[in-house]
Amino acid sequence: MLEEERKMVLQMLAEGKISAEQAAELLRALGDSATSGEVADDMPSGSVSDSVREAVRRAREAAREAAHTAREEARRARDGARQAAREARRQVTGFDVDLGGIGAFVEGLVNRITQDFSPFGYRWEETYDGNFDAEPVQLDVNTNNGSIHLHSWTLSTYKIVLHVQAGGADEAEARRRAQEAIRLEHGAAGITLRVNDGWASRVGAAVELYLPEGPEYRLKAVTGNGSIHLESGRFASAWLRTGNGSVHSSATVGDLDANTGNGSIHAAARSSGQWNLATGAGSVHVDSSGLGDTAVEVNASTAAGRVQVDIPGASTNQGGLGHVAVRLSSPNFEQAASRLTLRARTGLGSITVRNGA
């Protein structure tokens, strides 16, 4: 409290303009607890406490009333804003403007604000099918927002299922945006899918591929946000990338390169090849039970976690908060006719390579 304000209160008390209890209350409100206590000591017992209680009660009532009023004002303001937005859109869409497209621009802007805030307002499925006659079959799938699942089945035809999500002022606009963003080519040689500018155009698509069991495939799969699953099938190579999501493979894959920024990697090793598995934050689990006589070399490291490797003829289990690096191989690795080279990296998480991982 400023010294000048303190003097003014005491001067008013001395001149009889305010009572002692009023002076004590003013000084207390101004933060001068010591002086207010001195003034209160000079007053009759009980007079200050009664006055303070009454003042506090009134202050609390006033605060509750003010809070209620503020809430009501906020509600009215919010309702008013919504009504204003609706009215603005009505006026803009009904206004005949011929000033170089300004009217259309404003209408589109109001549309986005009032009706198109959600990026993915409409959902539907699109299905395509056909036959492959080349081997290996080339599969190139890239979707900015959505999971990618591959299955094998006994039918001789393939099937593509797109679970499309798109935003728009209405369903017609959402479908138009999807048509512009999705590029799909499929036929005898393979499948190529691109879902462009997912968040910018407010279009996303989860992808399911049902593939004939017979052919061998070469796969490139990329998603910005979503998981990648290889349920079954034979892949000469698989190059998998997801920014945010897990990678699961129970298929037979020769050369596997899988990388996720945030998510775990689970893979079943069933053949020889070169594997490179990496995740920024997540665990790596490799099931080696399907390798048979294939010899294995493991080069694994984690910045914070545990590395557990258990392969025929070699095993280790190390862990801690610091960097852990392990390199070991089957005793006959260099001489083996069938070999799997496995490199695994994680910034935060464990690495496990063992039978039934």
Which pLDDT score, from 0 to 100, does residue 54 have?
53
Which pLDDT score, from 0 to 100, does residue 227 have?
97
Please report which confidence band the pLDDT of residue 92 belongs to, taking 50, 70 and 90 as the band edges. Answer: very low
Nearest to 269 by CA among 280, 258, 260, 259: 258
CB distance 140 to 192 below 8 Å:
yes
Which pLDDT score, from 0 to 100, does residue 47 have?
44
Selected residue with higher pLDDT from 136 and 25: 136
Rounded mean pLDDT of the chain?
Answer: 79
Q: What is the pLDDT of residues 321-333, one digit of tens each?
A: 678 999 999 998 9
Please state, in angstroms and as integers, the Cα–Cα distance from residue 12 to each residue in 6, 23, 27, 32, 100, following that order: 10, 8, 12, 16, 71
Please report which confidence band the pLDDT of residue 93 belongs to, taking 50, 70 and 90 as the band edges. Answer: very low
Phi, psi of 85 (to 5 degrees): -65, -45
What distance in Å separates the CA atoms of residue 297 and residue 267, rounded to the nearest whole number?
16
Proportion of the chain above pLDDT 90, given as a percent: 53
pLDDT value at 115 more than 60: no
Q: What is the pLDDT of residues 210-243, one digit of tens each?
A: 999 989 999 999 998 999 999 999 999 999 999 9
pTM, rounded to two decimals: 0.67
Spatial neighbors of 206 by CB under 8 A, at least 6 apart, are 143, 146, 147, 148, 149, 162, 163, 226
What distance in Å separates the CA atoms of residue 152 and residue 142, rounded to the nearest whole number?
20
Which pLDDT score, from 0 to 100, does residue 103 have?
45
Please report which confidence band the pLDDT of residue 353 belongs to, taking 50, 70 and 90 as the band edges. Answer: very high
Partners of 203 in the β-ladder: 166
What distance in Å separates the CA atoms of residue 229 and residue 196, rounded to the nearest whole number?
21
What distance in Å separates the CA atoms of residue 356 and residue 196, rounded to the nearest whole number?
39
